[in-house]
Structure 1
Amino acid sequence: MTGRAARAPNPGQRQIFRANLARKGMKNTELLISNGNHDASLAAIRAGYPREWFPDSGGGYYESVVKGLHVLTVNTETYNSDSTQRAWLKERLTAITADPANTGRPVLVQGHRPTTNTTMDGQQAANPRLAEDLGVFPQAILFSGHSHLNINDDRSIHQRDFTSVNDGSMSYVEIDHGYQMVTADGLANRFESPTAQALFVEVYKDRTEIARVNMAADKHDIYTDGKWTADWQPPYASAGTLSGDTWTVRLKGSTNQQIKDNFRYTDATRNTVAPKFTTHRPLSRVSDEKGGTALRIAQARDDQMVHHYDVDITDASTGASVVSSKVLSDFSFMPRPNSLDIPVPGAVAGKRYVARVVAVDAYGNASPAASLTFRK
């Protein structure tokens, strides 16, 4: 559905788009570009791409009709302070939703930055006035990116007064800060993953289905020898996998309030099911490839997604902390590893250690703790 303008548009980039659309037999596919914070100026975008890809009238915002469906592109870089753009969006939404032919049909809105208090608990959001203006129109579905936050997480869709959807990133994805990942060099502070993700949106008479897809999700540390390596090269072993269940949006009701009352992805309906370990002994001591000691966690199960593990390992004789970490479950990689090996740095032969591990989902629902006492 959407495209992103390049930082500095040039004929080569335009030709890459066209060549690949032709290669895949998608010559009739419409590209609709929205402006973002890393992009070139609006004038450069207009000069670098065909008019039909970016048909704005001067402010970086415009309306398109795709197979009878209204798509409104907004310029989130200026929306909060652009009274003309705000008036345009409200006028178009009012007119579209007042037409009986559009009853129960979504109006798709796309822009770069997410708006406040919506997806991913409002992380990296802006434009509170966009949330205010869309709040009068429950038929609106806003698609936004900017944050690079992953779409595995069911917080990436949010409904209150309208529907807001995070569309991930085709470059690399991010996870909330404050966690660690298991890497070849042990536990490391990571919030980026080289996974490329996208949404596929299908609009039916009675519903809108939003499929979450990994274009590539191979296990790979985004830093190699201390260098940024997000540009993971094809071929990809895991291309085309799903990153979660399809989200289904139904706009049921004859009034705005009735539509909102039937929303299913709201704060009030957040999932409350905790992950659980499915084996009697989910923890075990193993030796790593370098001969060191590691705690192996057999991955827990959840009805949506195990987000991370609270891992605490202490010296049994002194109670001193050896490892205290929130370790990501590697949910952004496909297939997800069946187990995680947590290194125990400085483990001493013959010394006893106590491990306690809790599995936690994206909403904070936590499993009962699994425990293990072991020696190096």
Structure 2
Amino acid sequence: MPKTENFRPVLRFAAMSDVHFKDYHSVERERFRTALANSYAFAAQDAEHPTLDALCVIGDFTDRGTETQLQAFHEALTKQLRPETHLILSIASHEFGDAGTAVAEERLARIFGKKPDEHAVVQGFHFISMSPSKKFSPKNGYCEQKRAWMLDQLDMAAADDPKKPIFAFQHPHIPNTVYGSIGWSCDDITGIYDDYPQVINFSGHSHAPINDPRSIHQNNFTSLNMGSLSYFELDEFDKIYGTVPPDRAQCAQFYIVEADAENRVRILLYDILTESFFPEVWHIDEPSNRDSFLYTDEKRKKDNLPYFKPQAVLSVEVKDGGACVLRIPQADIAEEYVNDYDIAFRDAKTGEALRRFAVWSKYYLRHMPDEIVQEVDGLIPGKAYVVEVWPRNFYGRRGKTKLTAEFVAK
């Protein structure tokens, strides 16, 4: 479990999105059960504050927003949610489904007793959650009345204590913030939090991994990507298999967030499948002071380059029909993770570049494999190839070492 020295929480909550309950008893239901059970177990270890004060589930907690799925999620909450845990629940595109806004809001009120937007004070800290006004597109989804409501709530919270963090929630990312916000953001909430450095904003929608260092972003305020309990999708477009990795279903991540009496915040990253924390703990010591921010673009560890160990060897298994299987030993890096591997195929005789693509390192898994195995097809039988592999960090920078191998396709 990550250590947070000299830090005594007075607030603790779990934050997640994109749970995706289905009509049948799918793995997401069990993952949610484990998430809540283990959140309470973690809280119980703290003798001074053994409480989970809030559970925040921010949109797409169902797969299609059907009555069956909503009732199943309500039943799961009824079985596990304790009276001392305040529920923050918002709806999003999957709750709207094909039925639309009015039906989704009626079901939210009837089944959960909730309004689509909420401002709650929990242990003296402000929580503000805003659902979209319609099934949103990348351009819009939040009407002017919604945005005005949020600004009013932010003013009220800031007036209460300008140094205290404000925990704000909406389902889609804000453009140009966290990892995932290239393809999974909503333009008309841009700028809404810019005058409130104390805002710690949680969003989902992308299904991007929470342990990606780009899943926390600080500029005018703090943004966090909440990941998913269902499947991964990533925000890069050069991978041989597209934006969804082959092991997409090995995805079940959420945050446990703590704050102390001095307004310091600690964000712990939890993996449900292994029932363990990732080693990172994100620190926000002065939420209202932008100069104290640690996770700005300027402070990213862009010069931290991965490298292959001297004994590392790239293995190529040649298969019939113009295919091969690459076995890439994982590279090392001083901090963070190796993001991916940039792979090039060249003509062994001329050196001409024939093909280039990338594969992820599987950093999003709590326990990364020792090697990456990738099959490649479409090769010309009888042709000699040289394959080159470079490790890259999260900022697109190659390491200084590469692995090479030469083979003849068959």
TM-score, normalised to structure 2, is: 0.71
1:360 and 2:395 equivalent?
Answer: no
Structure 1 residues 54 and 179: alpha-carbon distance in aligned structure 2, compared to 1, 3 A threshold: farther
Which of 67, 76, 90 is 1:10 aligned to? 67
Partner secondary structure for residue 280 of structure 2: coil
Structure 1 residues 312 and 278: alpha-carbon distance in aligned structure 2, compared to 1, 3 A threshold: closer
Structure 1 residues 108 and 43: alpha-carbon distance in aligned structure 2, compared to 1, 3 A threshold: same
**Are the counterparts in 1 of residues 271 and 277 from structure 2 also a CA contact under 8 Å?**
yes
**Are the counterparts in 1 of residues 180 and 208 from structure 2 also a CA contact under 8 Å?**
no
Counterpart position of 1:249: 284
Deviation beyond 6 Å, 4+ runs, structure 1? 288-292
Counterpart position of 1:236: none
Counterpart position of 2:227: 168
Structure 1 residues 19 and 130: alpha-carbon distance in aligned structure 2, compared to 1, 3 A threshold: closer
Kindly provide the CA deviation profile for residues 203-247 of structure 1, in whole angstroms up to 9, marking residues without a partner as x.
Answer: 22232122222223xxxxxxxxxxxxxxxxxxxxxx324456121
1:147 and 2:206 equivalent?
Answer: yes
Counterpart position of 2:328: 297
**Are the counterparts in 2 of residues 309 and 359 from structure 1 also a CA contact under 8 Å?**
yes
Q: CA deviation at 1:46?
A: 4.6
1:97 and 2:158 equivalent?
Answer: yes
Partner secondary structure for residue 14 of structure 1: helix
Partner secondary structure for residue 143 of structure 1: strand
Q: Tell me how far apart the structure 1 counterparts of residues 353 and 68 of structure 2 sit (CA, whole Å).
A: 58
Q: CA deviation at 1:72?
A: 0.5
1:213 and 2:266 equivalent?
Answer: no
Kindly provide the CA deviation profile for residues 302-344 of structure 1, in whole angstroms up to 9, marking residues without a partner as x.
Answer: 2112111111132322334465211211222342111123446
Counterpart position of 1:84: 145
Q: Tell me how far apart the structure 2 counterparts of residues 316 and 324 of structure 1 sit (CA, whole Å).
A: 15
1:67 and 2:102 equivalent?
Answer: no
**Are the counterparts in 1 of residues 180 and 225 from structure 2 also a CA contact under 8 Å?**
no
Q: Tell me how far apart the structure 1 counterparts of residues 76 and 206 of structure 2 sit (CA, whole Å).
A: 29
**Are the counterparts in 2 of residues 105 and 205 from structure 1 also a CA contact under 8 Å?**
no
Kindly provide the CA deviation profile for residues 127-179 of structure 1, in whole angstroms up to 9, marking residues without a partner as x.
Answer: 44533231111111111111222223211111111111111112212112423
Counterpart position of 1:281: 311
Structure 1 residues 361 and 244: alpha-carbon distance in aligned structure 2, compared to 1, 3 A threshold: farther
Structure 1 residues 190 and 46: alpha-carbon distance in aligned structure 2, compared to 1, 3 A threshold: closer
Structure 1 residues 113 and 371: alpha-carbon distance in aligned structure 2, compared to 1, 3 A threshold: closer
Structure 1 residues 76 and 250: alpha-carbon distance in aligned structure 2, compared to 1, 3 A threshold: farther
* CA RMSD after TM alignment: 3.1
Q: Tell me how far apart the structure 2 counterparts of residues 203 and 53 of structure 1 sit (CA, whole Å).
A: 27
Which amino acid is 2:268 matched to?
Answer: A
Counterpart position of 1:265: 295
**Are the counterparts in 1 of residues 91 and 131 from structure 2 also a CA contact under 8 Å?**
yes
**Are the counterparts in 2 of residues 209 and 246 from structure 1 also a CA contact under 8 Å?**
yes
Partner secondary structure for residue 192 of structure 2: helix
Aligned residues: 336
Which amino acid is 1:354 matched to?
Answer: V
Segments of 5+ residues of structure 2 without an aligned counterpart are 1-54, 135-139
Q: CA deviation at 1:73?
A: 0.8
Q: CA deviation at 1:45?
A: 4.0
Partner secondary structure for residue 245 of structure 1: strand
Which of 84, 89, 94 is 1:33 aligned to? 89
Q: Tell me how far apart the structure 2 counterparts of residues 20 and 86 of structure 1 sit (CA, whole Å).
A: 29
Segments of 5+ residues of structure 1 without an aligned counterpart are 182-187, 217-238
Partner secondary structure for residue 404 of structure 2: strand
TM-score, normalised to structure 1, is: 0.77
Greater relative CO, 1 or 2 (CA 8 Å, sep 6+): 2
Q: CA deviation at 1:362?
A: 1.4
Which amino acid is 2:328 matched to?
Answer: I
Structure 1 residues 104 and 281: alpha-carbon distance in aligned structure 2, compared to 1, 3 A threshold: same
Partner secondary structure for residue 178 of structure 1: coil
Moved more, 8-17 or 171-180: 8-17
Partner secondary structure for residue 200 of structure 1: strand
Q: CA deviation at 1:119?
A: 1.3
Percent identical residues: 26
